[in-house]
């Protein structure tokens, strides 16, 4: 992990297309602004993890449903 020190108003560049700017500093919080192409998805870590967990749960539900349908189909034979 690269760790950088920045002051309010200073920017970090990632590649040619992404800029992260320190917008405000208050107490133990840092507000950042991110400029990136529209095709770059930007999520807070907790939302990313929540989405991943929901996707896994949905996939498991579909898998269980398909197994139940298959079992019912086998019973009818």
Q: How far apart are CA 64 and CA 16, in angstroms?
A: 45
Per-residue pLDDT of 24-69, as tens digits, reads: 999 999 999 999 999 999 999 999 999 999 999 888 888 888 887 8
Confidence of residue 77 (pLDDT cuts 50, 70, 90): low
Query: Are 22 and 32 spatial neighbours (Cβ–Cβ below 8 Å)?
Result: yes
* More confidently predicted of 77 and 24: 24
Plot region of 27 (φ>0 → left; ψ -120 to 50 → alpha; else → beta): left
Q: Give strand pairing partners of 21.
A: 11, 33
The whole-number pLDDT of residue 76 equals: 67
The whole-number pLDDT of residue 49 equals: 94
Q: Where are the domains of the chain?
A: 1-38, 43-77
CA dihedral 43, 48, 50, 55 (to 10 degrees): 120
């Amino acid at each position: 992990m690269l760790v950088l020190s920045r002051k309010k108003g200073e920017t970090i560049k990632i590649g040619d297309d992404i800029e992260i700017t320190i917008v405000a500093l208050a107490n133990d919080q840092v507000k950042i602004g991110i400029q990136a192409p529209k095709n770059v998805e930007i999520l807070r870590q907790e939302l990313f993890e929540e989405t991943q967990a929901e996707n896994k749960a949905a996939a498991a539900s579909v898998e269980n449903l398909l197994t139940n349908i298959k079992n019912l189909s086998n019973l009818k034979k």
